[in-house]
Amino acid sequence: MMTAHRKSNGDIATSFVRRHIGPSAGDVTAMLEAVSAKSVDALMAETLPASIRQAAPLDLGKPLSETEAIAHMAELARQNQVFTSLIGQGYSGTILPAVIQRNILENPAWYTAYTPYQPEISQGRLEALLNFQTMICDLTGLDVANASLLDEATAAAEAMALAERHSQVKAKAFFVDRDVHPQTLAVMRTRAEPLGWNLIVGDPLTDLAKSDVLGALLQYPGSSGAVRNLRPAIAALKAKGALAIVAADLLALTLLASPGELGADIAIGSAQRFGVPMGYGGPHAAYMAVRDALKRSLPGRIVGLSVDSRGAPAYRLALQTREQHIRREKATSNICTAQVLLAVIASMYAVYHGPEGLMQIARNVHRRAAVLASGLRKLGFAPLSDSFFDTLSVDAGAKRVEIVARAAAEKINLGIGDSGLRIALDETTTPATVEAVWRAFGGTLAYAEIDAETREALPDELKRTTAFLTHPVFHAHRSETEMLRYMRKLSDRDLALDRAMIPLGSCTMKLNATTEMMPLTWPEFATLHPFAPREQAAGYHALFARLEKWLCDITGYDAISLQPNSGAQGEYAGLLAIRGYHASRGQSQRKICLIPSSAHGTNPASAAMVGMDVVVVACEKNGDVDVNDLRAKAERHSDDLAAVMITYPSTHGVFEEHISEICDIVHGHGGQVYLDGANLNAQVGLSRPGDYGADVSHLNLHKTFCIPHGGGGPGMGPIGVRAHLAPFLPGHPAAKADAPVGPVSAAPFGSASILTISYIYILMMGGEGLKRATEIAILNANYIAARLDPHFPVLYKNAKGRVAHECIVDPRPLKTTSGVTVDDIAKRLIDYGFHAPTMSFPVPGTLMIEPTESESKAELDRFCDAMIAIRKEIAEVEAGRFEIAASPLRHAPHTVHDIADDDWKRAYTRSEGCFPDGVSRTDKYWCPVGRVDNVYGDRNLVCSCPPVSDYAQAAE
């Protein structure tokens, strides 16, 4: 490791703050002038209500330079111990091919991309996700898969909820295989309890027939390793009209009959072992696949095929109308941020290995497990099941402690179950590992000898006979050169932060610094199993403790849970805490949740998931919450009021004056205040939710705290709470088993490995730097508002004419004068080389823009110039140069098909279309497809790789 030269942190040359914040000192002066503010302090005073301003500065210690931060992380890494974890329980050692690690996981073209809502600039990652879905459909033998869910345990809970909606059995009872992973069961209990569903745990082969249940979750192979024939259990369930869900291991499925062939309706599981490091819990992609009849109920995002303006095939997110923003409290799931980057990695692992490669890996792993079993039998420890894939359970009796200790001396972790020991092998297992396990069990055996006398242990009746991954994409990239170029080709199709500003409101697409991204792939952070003994993860725990302390200081809360894997999961955990608190005071009837009409769609969806009844509070014309309406509704529901969920600064991008009053009203009626802190970027260092009256918030670390968006995930949504809610933070069977509220994630610290990113960010910024970042984020937003307002009016400002960290511009009047839609503007921005702002949220027909502090004045000006040039194009329509339907706005985005069109008959020139004002001919970003047809894609749902012939036909 490099040694830090420990010099002044304030030094401009080594200061990270100067690298993170876009505008220079000169830029700041110019922008202050443009917004008519005397100073940054004066601007803040005009933006935030004085009553909520934070008194004391953040106390986060001195900032480190990038070099010093890396040295510090190396010290933390040394406190983690890299053991060989054979614990299993849904997490396996895996080998991430180096070409994928460097070109996806460590490549900003992939990790800084946004969720692919704008399909034209997202074709690369959409193709990778379609490969993921194809892989999942093939391996599970089911018809439609999503991409993706947060982890296996929450996927199981989502599947249970899906089954509840579709089952013909009306009983509110659900059966869970006693051989599921314990954390899966725990998360399902958390989800079932508020909804009044009863979980029955038992042996599916003997207990299922007697149970009147709406559905069942069966694990395949079981958590113990046993491979059981689930066909009879599934048939019995289906005969009653109940749904069968199978949690399946993807690697095992390369050799075993698929869940679909066994009769399952739904399959779920984790794609972690397809190349994604364990990372002490995550992030990893979970999957869900369903029979065709259930596809319109599938939670999470689904990539589908559609056509573009020239009729060529184009990918897009399908069925977007199911998202929470539309369905709100009627949404059946709150999943928003998912695990896109990890699904991409898993799909590339399959592209890299192909079906033969995956089967070879599976056969090797199985071979090692079979040899291990033979040896253990010789040593008097016969595995409990004769049929297994890669995991063995043995009853070690009184020798258990001794064996675990001897294994630990060999730097091996075994799985410790209720009644015995578990040994789960994986693709990293070598003969030497197997011999070391034998030694732990008290015998010295030679792998080669035992190998010669061992037969495989997969039951004939369950062997896979069907082909999978037959699509050419899984066959054409076996050389590293082909693989490298395939990944490069896909990323070249996309527009991510490595090319241009992504001015999305509510999503904070700021810098994800390279230094912040480095440690998470170091083995000391990447290879730890989430259930490894705590003392092996001392570095991680030191990091968690410090990060929790910092986040408490930043938010004014008393305690933090690092468990939730996304903002929406944080909302869910926060509402569970509120629910637990009311119940502990004998107030379980408090079930009303007040939510302003402008709230993010996940808010009402999360409230519904904890069994709360949503009552919508009106907003005033200026966008503020209607305090009178809120007061009236709080009064009306005084006895039953559970909470208000309020976003601050508001989703309209303004610091409302009445926030403290709102908190007081709700508290006065016995309710709790949930403050949606996804957008803390306007507050860090300036104001603290815990100070001005909120009881609980989630913080999206993938927004404010620099975890990259990954093309739609991963994320982390820790929650902060005031002391009275701290006992009701999520527990976990592996950490706090006796907590009154159960876990919301499979792993106790969620996606632990990416917490390193936020940690390093805070470490390098320090308190002053973070405050400066917030100020510049607000200055940048006000600068954009000032520049655009004469062209596209800014919809909401506070009484002093200021916006917070984002602003909404309103092109709706132009629809009347020209016919231009918000879509036209968004797509035309692509021609100028920009990702569109957030469209139609929270106000339909408008654009929400959030520049963040990381964008320089030059980039802000480039964006504003593009918007102003677009306004001129709209003026041309207004002036009658051409109809909107014939304008470059409606034909946007323009592609190479346009510039090369020999039959050009448009009312504007090709260069007006392709190279509008200010666009460089040298550095032009070309999106690969024209405007994508949304309706077509939903009518003709195709969610796995189409045959290559489809492309050939379309190209003709």
Ligand X SMILES: *Cc1c(COP(=O)(O)O)cnc(C)c1O
Q: Which residues bind ligand X (CB under 6 A)?
A: 336-337, 506, 566-568, 600, 602, 647, 676, 678-679, 700, 715, 717
Q: How far is the CB of 114 from ligand X (least distance, A)?
A: 11
Judged by beta carbon, residue 270 or residue 566, the one nearer ligand X is 566
Q: Identify residue 293 by its one-letter amino acid code.
A: A
Which residue from 50, 62, 121, 497 is spatially nearest to 314, judged by alpha carbons? 121
Both tokens assigned to 435: 């011999």
Judged by beta carbon, residue 505 or residue 693, the one nearer ligand X is 505
Judged by beta carbon, residue 366 or residue 652, the one nearer ligand X is 652
Q: How far is the CB of 712 from ligand X (least distance, A)?
A: 9
Q: How far is the CB of 463 from ligand X (least distance, A)?
A: 40
Residue 693 DSSP label:
T
At which residue do the structure tokens 């241009």 appear? 500
Whether the CB-CB separation of 408 and 431 falls below 8 Å is answered with no
Residue 399 DSSP label:
G
Judged by beta carbon, residue 46 or residue 676, the one nearer ligand X is 676
At which residue do the structure tokens 């139609």 appear? 840
Cβ partners under 8 Å of residue 434, min gap 6: 368, 371, 372, 375, 425, 447
Closest residue to ligand X in the complex (CB): 567
Judged by beta carbon, residue 324 or residue 887, the one nearer ligand X is 324
Secondary structure of residue 635 in the 3-state scheme = helix
Cα 16 to Cα 19: distance, rounded to the nearest angstrom:
5
Judged by beta carbon, residue 504 or residue 820, the one nearer ligand X is 504
Judged by beta carbon, residue 536 or residue 697, the one nearer ligand X is 697
**Backbone φ and ψ of 177, nearest 5°:** -50, 130
Judged by beta carbon, residue 425 or residue 777, the one nearer ligand X is 777
Q: How far is the CB of 606 from ligand X (least distance, A)?
A: 9
Q: How far is the CB of 601 from ligand X (least distance, A)?
A: 8
Judged by beta carbon, residue 184 or residue 681, the one nearer ligand X is 681
Judged by beta carbon, residue 383 or residue 604, the one nearer ligand X is 604
Judged by beta carbon, residue 596 or residue 928, the one nearer ligand X is 596
Judged by beta carbon, residue 676 or residue 831, the one nearer ligand X is 676
At which residue do the structure tokens 């499925």 appear? 253
Q: How far is the CB of 452 from ligand X (least distance, A)?
A: 53
Secondary structure of residue 929 in the 3-state scheme = coil
Cis ω on the peptide bond leading into residue 431 (within 30° of 0)? no
Cα 942 to Cα 952: distance, rounded to the nearest angstrom:
17
Whether the CB-CB separation of 838 and 793 falls below 8 Å is answered with no
Whether the CB-CB separation of 132 and 713 falls below 8 Å is answered with no
The Cβ of residue 201 has, within 10 Å, a number of other Cβ atoms equal to 15
Q: How far is the CB of 679 from ligand X (least distance, A)?
A: 6
Cα angle value 480/483/485 (rounded, 5°): 110
CA distances for 644 relative to 326, 612, 623, 634, 908, angstroms? 20, 11, 17, 9, 52
Both tokens assigned to 329: 């409290």
Q: How far is the CB of 838 from ligand X (least distance, A)?
A: 9
Judged by beta carbon, residue 336 or residue 351, the one nearer ligand X is 336
Q: How far is the CB of 570 from ligand X (least distance, A)?
A: 8
At which residue do the structure tokens 């991680």 appear? 540
Q: How far is the CB of 850 from ligand X (least distance, A)?
A: 10
Q: How far is the CB of 652 from ligand X (least distance, A)?
A: 11
Q: How far is the CB of 59 from ligand X (least distance, A)?
A: 27
Cβ partners under 8 Å of residue 939, min gap 6: none
Secondary structure of residue 770 in the 3-state scheme = helix
Q: How far is the CB of 153 from ligand X (least distance, A)?
A: 17
Cα 921 to Cα 835: distance, rounded to the nearest angstrom:
18
Q: How far is the CB of 4 from ligand X (least distance, A)?
A: 34
Cα angle value 9/15/20 (rounded, 5°): 145
Which residue from 458, 371, 448, 382 is spatially nearest to 421, judged by alpha carbons? 382
Whether the CB-CB separation of 674 and 646 falls below 8 Å is answered with yes
H or E element in which residue 951 lies: helix 948-955
Judged by beta carbon, residue 333 or residue 887, the one nearer ligand X is 333
Cα 793 to Cα 131: distance, rounded to the nearest angstrom:
42
Whether the CB-CB separation of 456 and 450 falls below 8 Å is answered with no
Judged by beta carbon, residue 80 or residue 508, the one nearer ligand X is 508
Cα 318 to Cα 79: distance, rounded to the nearest angstrom:
45
Q: How far is the CB of 283 from ligand X (least distance, A)?
A: 12
Secondary structure of residue 802 in the 3-state scheme = coil
Which residue from 133, 117, 102, 93 is spatially nearest to 344, judged by alpha carbons? 133
